[in-house]
């Protein structure tokens, strides 16, 4: 049993002092003075055929070191294989060698030159001709009769379909009998992850041993390594990927992108170091994006307020092609549509559509933001139409602790939690606001369930996903007594390195600063495909680490007992809180005397004191943790908003959160994750939107001027509370919390706007709720703004 000393303490992240000194090691900060620089050649149009690629003039520039075009790429690479397909999906790879471009910004080739500015100069000399084809700028356009067909493998531009939960005919029956059916069409826009550090990598090829080392800003170095090996036709053991400091990711850095593979190809062709750091325009126009769906959904309610059925018909925009987990977020929207409520019948239907827009990948919340928005808006609308309190309606239908484990219609098994308690807690704190003048105020609370700790190998196999779901750690007590944690999960600013150190320290019973945590280097990190995504790093690596620490602690105590020649039960580890690992005060005590921690560690590495017949010497433990089940976090959010009916401006004035993330390892990190997630949710709710020209499908959001991120003035103080129902699905009782903050804000804010201005509640079904759109809805509803002012 682990004694909690550091677990639960608000320990400041251990890498922060270095970051605050300007000593971060982001990709572009790494000292590679000899690196050559890449400019990526990108398609200027959203759909077209590459008819010519002439680099003669470019190659004549003395600063030009290499030009790669489609023919070179075709000769030297294989496509990137996909990992998660829909049952009938025939598009199963990402093309690197492009003869037909399918989005503006798609990489066609690259130029390597002496520095970045020179590379951009030389890139302008490459004569790339693209013969434009008609472009498709939305799923509606893609599905329209006679729409241009993007892929031979996607008839009607449908990449694949699936359905989860109650069969459709039974759903239709349930709706037919209902007292009330609320049906709406929901729109969730495309968003950009926009980490402050864009993507980037330095690839180094050593031709002698044939080794490729890639320093990358990535969440998933092992996955990138495997994909690179496949693409570049290299042995897996000849590729090493290293992620140092990562300046935010949010799902945008989980998958190898085609341009990143081309940069590594350039290194292999040239030898030595080649560097590419994405600029902001590229990040906004070429890096994979998030969300993007139109969903028709309906909720059936009995006269007494019982929920009878829920169905979401999700039409998702994959963009130009399916990426590695292409339809994953859409499938998760369907799977999680029920949320915290009981439904006799519920299901989700998914249609994945390709368009001539930037491909869509993972984004924080991964389909659950979408399902929460759809469901919570429907529930609020049902309450409005029934004339009942929306909180009461929610409580009436909630899955209760006594129902656990609870299996949803779509087959998810909720493990634990008190959903009603979270909702009540949030509802108690949300004060009913008052309206004044042209400003109307309203508040609302919503509830959600968050899938975390993805995923058991058996479940991964059931979905035929080509990734490992388990997570491994290696915990080492070094010969000098210091402790090192190696894990496959990665630090991307979320603080996992600190949480793991806290767990290791408590698991071994040693001071926190004895522990160092090494992440992100495939040469030393245990295998991990999913690494830090899907709110799983702490749940799975933390679970593995607790087990590793318990085993290593038992071994160390056994060694100490033999060194001291006393029974194991009589050995006590006595470490004052503030001593170093080499201190003579850090000792094992037995009746016969003491031996210092450091001395014991040193002897252990010499092979001394081990029991008869035991071969194992290294003072380290490797543990792989394959969780028995997904664990579900949950929460409730409350928002108070002001709506200026003259201008349509929505201001979030107060925000409250209640989350149950099981056992919290570091409350500081937990609060930071929640508040940061809420800010992203506010951006999505009110103004973030990747826009494209509706005819040409060319990007209109190319800088932060057209894609504004939330600033301090947009985010109120967020009140953060936590409940704690330990998860039964892992040794630490942990539940994930990386995404929970980002999931409910759009739903909560939309419901609060609906409360402020019920006249437009029915049409609050799409985000972002920009001033112009809210104003248009207000005028449409006949709300004319300030009475002193008359229309012309």
Considering only residues 268-297, where is the footprint of another protein by CB under 8 A?
279-281
Among 236-244, 472-480, 534-542, 708-716, which window interacts with another protein (CB under 8 A)?
Answer: 708-716
* Positions 465 through 484 that interact with another protein (CB under 8 A): none
Q: Rule CB under 8 A: choose which of 470, 632, 687, 734 binds another protein.
A: 687
Q: Is the dihedral of CA 406, 409, 413, 417 positive or negative?
A: negative
* Positions 137 through 196 that interact with another protein (CB under 8 A): 194-196
- Residues 92, 80: Cα–Cα separation, whole Å: 9
Residue 617 Cβ vs another protein, minimum distance, rounded to whole Å: 38
Q: How many residues bind another protein (CB under 8 A)?
A: 81
**Closest CB to another protein among 758 and 771?**
771
Q: Does 95 bind another protein (CB under 8 A)?
A: no
DSSP H stretches of helix in 286-367: 328-335
- Token pair of 694, please? 């509706």
On the CB side of 579, CA atoms within 13 Å amount to 16
**Closest CB to another protein among 48 and 195?**
195
User: What backbone phi and psi angles, to 5 degrees, belong to 585?
Assistant: -85, -15
Among 41-49, 146-154, 564-572, 713-721, which window interacts with another protein (CB under 8 A)?
Answer: 713-721
Among 102-110, 179-187, 339-347, 642-650, which window interacts with another protein (CB under 8 A)?
Answer: 642-650
What's 692's DSSP letter? B
Q: Does 688 bind another protein (CB under 8 A)?
A: yes
- Residues 612, 610: Cα–Cα separation, whole Å: 7
DSSP H stretches of helix in 387-456: 390-396, 419-429
40 SS3 class: strand
Q: Rule CB under 8 A: choose which of 391, 540, 545, 686 binds another protein.
A: 686
Is residue 198 within 8 Å of residue 281, measured between CB atoms? Answer: no
Q: Does 89 bind another protein (CB under 8 A)?
A: no
Q: Does 524 bind another protein (CB under 8 A)?
A: no
Point out which residues pair with 81 in neighbouring strands. Answer: 93
Q: Does 724 bind another protein (CB under 8 A)?
A: no
Q: Does 516 bind another protein (CB under 8 A)?
A: no
Q: Rule CB under 8 A: choose which of 186, 250, 341, 597 binds another protein.
A: 250
CA 492, chain centre distance (Å): 11
Q: Rule CB under 8 A: choose which of 679, 737, 746, 753 binds another protein.
A: 679
**Closest CB to another protein among 195 and 292?**
195
Is residue 370 within 8 Å of residue 329, measured between CB atoms? Answer: yes
- Residues 411, 347: Cα–Cα separation, whole Å: 10
Q: Rule CB under 8 A: choose which of 292, 319, 488, 495 binds another protein.
A: 495
- What's the first-to-final CA gap in the chain, in angstroms? 76
Residue 22 Cβ vs another protein, minimum distance, rounded to whole Å: 2
**Closest CB to another protein among 78 and 120?**
120
**Closest CB to another protein among 434 and 788?**
788
* Positions 102 through 121 that interact with another protein (CB under 8 A): 116-117, 120-121
Q: Does 21 bind another protein (CB under 8 A)?
A: yes
Q: Does 235 bind another protein (CB under 8 A)?
A: no
Q: Does 782 bind another protein (CB under 8 A)?
A: no
- Token pair of 772, please? 């112009």
**Closest CB to another protein among 124 and 185?**
124
**Closest CB to another protein among 410 and 767?**
767
What's 413's DSSP letter? E
Residue 714 Cβ vs another protein, minimum distance, rounded to whole Å: 6
**Closest CB to another protein among 291 and 547?**
291
Q: Does 24 bind another protein (CB under 8 A)?
A: yes
Q: Does 776 bind another protein (CB under 8 A)?
A: yes
R_g of the chain, CA atoms, integer Å = 28
Q: Does 646 bind another protein (CB under 8 A)?
A: yes
Among 132-140, 178-186, 530-538, 783-791, which window interacts with another protein (CB under 8 A)?
Answer: 783-791
Q: Rule CB under 8 A: choose which of 125, 229, 386, 709 binds another protein.
A: 709
- Residues 191, 683: Cα–Cα separation, whole Å: 9
Among 92-100, 245-253, 468-476, 624-632, which window interacts with another protein (CB under 8 A)?
Answer: 245-253
Q: What is the DSSP string of 762-783?
A: GG--BS---HHHHHHHHHHTT-
| Sequence-ordered list of residues with C-beta below 8 angstroms from that of 734, at least 6 positions apart, any chain | 453, 538, 539, 542, 543, 631, 661, 662, 663, 665, 727
Residue count of the chain: 792
Q: Does 738 bind another protein (CB under 8 A)?
A: no
| Sequence-ordered list of residues with C-beta below 8 angstroms from that of 264, at least 6 positions apart, any chain | 201, 203, 212, 214, 228, 231, 232, 274
Q: Rule CB under 8 A: choose which of 246, 531, 639, 757 binds another protein.
A: 246
String of contacts with another protein for each residue 559-578, x by CB under 8 A: --------------------
Q: Rule CB under 8 A: choose which of 23, 129, 179, 691 binds another protein.
A: 23
What's 586's DSSP letter? S
Residue 100 Cβ vs another protein, minimum distance, rounded to whole Å: 26
Residue 10 Cβ vs another protein, minimum distance, rounded to whole Å: 8
* Positions 424 through 463 that interact with another protein (CB under 8 A): 438
- Residues 491, 219: Cα–Cα separation, whole Å: 8
Residue 719 Cβ vs another protein, minimum distance, rounded to whole Å: 10
Residue 741 CA: distances (Å) to CA of 169, 386, 450, 722, 744? 36, 30, 10, 12, 7
Q: What is the DSSP string of 84-141?
A: ---TT----EE-SS-SEE-STT-EEEEEEESSHHHHHHHHTTSEEEEEE-----SHHH
* Positions 649 through 678 that interact with another protein (CB under 8 A): 649, 668, 671-672, 675-678
Most distant CA atoms of the chain, gap in Å: 98
* Nearest by Cα to 734 from 624, 623, 630, 622: 630
The helix or strand, by DSSP H or E, that contains position 606, with its residue range, turns out to be helix 597-606
- Residues 439, 641: Cα–Cα separation, whole Å: 10
Residue 531 Cβ vs another protein, minimum distance, rounded to whole Å: 16
- Residues 386, 393: Cα–Cα separation, whole Å: 10
Q: Is the dihedral of CA 170, 175, 179, 185 positive or negative?
A: positive
| Cis upstream peptide for 647 (omega within 30°) | no
What's 707's DSSP letter? S
**Closest CB to another protein among 211 and 649?**
649
Q: Rule CB under 8 A: choose which of 5, 9, 26, 404 binds another protein.
A: 26
Among 200-208, 243-251, 285-293, 578-586, which window interacts with another protein (CB under 8 A)?
Answer: 243-251
Residue 492 Cβ vs another protein, minimum distance, rounded to whole Å: 7
Q: Rule CB under 8 A: choose which of 152, 303, 569, 712 binds another protein.
A: 712
Q: Does 691 bind another protein (CB under 8 A)?
A: no
Q: Rule CB under 8 A: choose which of 79, 248, 272, 758 binds another protein.
A: 248
Q: Does 62 bind another protein (CB under 8 A)?
A: no
- Token pair of 759, please? 């006249």
* Positions 204 through 223 that interact with another protein (CB under 8 A): none
Is residue 596 within 8 Å of residue 587, measured between CB atoms? Answer: yes
**Closest CB to another protein among 599 and 688?**
688
Q: Rule CB under 8 A: choose which of 2, 726, 770, 781 binds another protein.
A: 770
* Nearest by Cα to 684 from 650, 659, 661, 718: 650
Among 164-172, 218-226, 757-765, 782-790, which window interacts with another protein (CB under 8 A)?
Answer: 782-790
* Nearest by Cα to 504 from 495, 515, 493: 515
Residue 28 Cβ vs another protein, minimum distance, rounded to whole Å: 7
């Amino acid at each position: 049993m682990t004694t909690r000393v550091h677990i639960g303490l608000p320990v400041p992240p251990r890498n922060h002092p270095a970051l605050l000194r300007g000593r971060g090691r982001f990709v572009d900060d790494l000292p590679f003075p000899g690196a050559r620089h890449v400019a990526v050649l990108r398609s200027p149009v959203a759909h077209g055929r590459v008819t010519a690629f002439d680099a003669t003039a470019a190659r004549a520039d003395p600063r030009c070191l290499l030009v790669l075009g489609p023919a070179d790429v075709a000769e030297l690479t294989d496509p990137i294989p996909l990992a998660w397909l829909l049952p009938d999906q025939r598009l199963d790879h990402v093309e690197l060698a492009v003869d037909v471009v399918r989005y503006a910004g798609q990489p066609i080739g690259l130029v390597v030159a002496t520095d970045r500015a020179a590379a951009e100069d030389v890139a302008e000399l490459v004569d790339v001709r693209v013969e434009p084809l008609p472009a498709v700028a939305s799923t509606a356009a893609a599905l329209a009769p006679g729409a241009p067909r993007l892929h031979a493998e996607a008839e009607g531009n449908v990449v694949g379909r699936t359905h989860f939960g109650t069969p459709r005919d039974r759903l239709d029956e349930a709706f037919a009998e209902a007292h009330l059916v609320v049906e709406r069409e929901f729109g969730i826009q495309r968003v950009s992850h926009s980490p402050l550090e864009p993507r980037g990598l330095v690839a180094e090829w050593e031709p002698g041993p044939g080794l490729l080392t890639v320093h990358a800003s990535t969440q998933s170095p092992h996955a990138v390594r495997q994909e690179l090996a496949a693409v570049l036709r290299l042995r897996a053991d000849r590729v090493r990927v290293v992620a140092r400091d990562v300046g935010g990711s949010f799902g945008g850095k989980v998958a190898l992108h085609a341009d990143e593979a081309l940069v590594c190809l350039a290194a292999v062709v040239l030898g030595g170091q080649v560097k590419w750091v994405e600029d902001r325009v590229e990040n906004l126009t070429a890096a994979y994006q998030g969300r993007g769906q139109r969903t028709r959904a309906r909720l059936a309610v009995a006269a007494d307020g019982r929920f009878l059925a829920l169905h979401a018909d999700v039409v998702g925009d994959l963009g130009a092609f399916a990426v590695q987990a292409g339809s994953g977020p859409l499938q998760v929207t369907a799977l999680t549509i029920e949320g915290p409520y009981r439904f006799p019948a519920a299901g989700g239907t998914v249609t994945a559509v390709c368009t001539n827009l930037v491909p869509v990948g993972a984004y924080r919340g991964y389909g659950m933001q979408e399902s929460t928005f759809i469901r919570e808006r429907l529930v609020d609308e049902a309450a409005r139409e029934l004339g009942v309190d929306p909180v009461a309606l929610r409580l009436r239908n909630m899955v209760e602790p006594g129902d656990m484990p609870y299996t949803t219609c779509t087959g998810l098994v909720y493990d634990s939690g008190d959903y009603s308690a979270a909702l009540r807690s949030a509802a108690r704190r949300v004060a009913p606001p008052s309206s004044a003048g042209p400003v109307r105020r309203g508040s609302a609370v919503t509830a959600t369930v968050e899938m975390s700790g993805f995923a058991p190998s058996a479940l991964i196999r059931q979905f035929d996903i080509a990734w490992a779901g388990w997570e491994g750690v290696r915990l080492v007590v070094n010969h000098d007594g210091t402790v090192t944690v190696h894990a496959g999960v990665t630090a991307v600013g979320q603080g996992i390195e600190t949480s793991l150190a806290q767990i290791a320290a408590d698991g071994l019973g040693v001071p926190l600063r004895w522990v160092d945590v090494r992440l992100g280097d495939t040469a030393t990190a245990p295998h991990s495909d999913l690494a830090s995504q899907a709110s799983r790093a702490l749940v799975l690596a933390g679970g593995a680490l607790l087990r590793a620490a318990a085993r290593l602690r038992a071994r160390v105590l056994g060694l100490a007992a033999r060194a001291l020649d006393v029974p194991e039960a009589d050995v006590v580890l006595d470490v004052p809180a503030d001593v170093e690992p080499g201190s003579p005060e850090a000792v094992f005590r037995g009746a016969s005397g003491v031996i210092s921690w450091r001395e014991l560690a040193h002897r252990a590495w010499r092979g001394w004191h081990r029991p008869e017949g035991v071969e194992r010497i290294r003072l380290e433990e490797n543990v792989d943790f394959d969780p028995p089940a997904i664990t579900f976090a949950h929460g409730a959010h409350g928002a108070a908003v002001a709506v200026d009916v003259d201008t349509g401006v929505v201001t979030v004035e107060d925000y409250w959160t209640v989350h149950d993330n099981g056992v919290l390892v570091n409350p500081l990190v937990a609060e930071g994750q929640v508040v940061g997630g809420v800010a992203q949710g506010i951006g999505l709710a009110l103004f973030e939107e990747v826009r494209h020209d509706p005819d040409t499908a060319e990007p209109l959001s190319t800088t932060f001027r057209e894609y504004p991120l939330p600033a301090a003035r947009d985010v109120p103080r967020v009140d953060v509370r936590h409940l704690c129902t330990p998860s039964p699905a892992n040794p630490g009782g942990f539940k994930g919390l990386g995404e929970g903050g980002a999931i409910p804000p759009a739903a909560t804010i939309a419901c609060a706007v609906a409360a402020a201005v019920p006249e437009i509640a029915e049409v609050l079904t799409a985000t972002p709720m920009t001033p112009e759109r809210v104003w248009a809805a207000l005028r449409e509803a006949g709300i004319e703004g300030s009475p002193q002012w008359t229309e012309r």
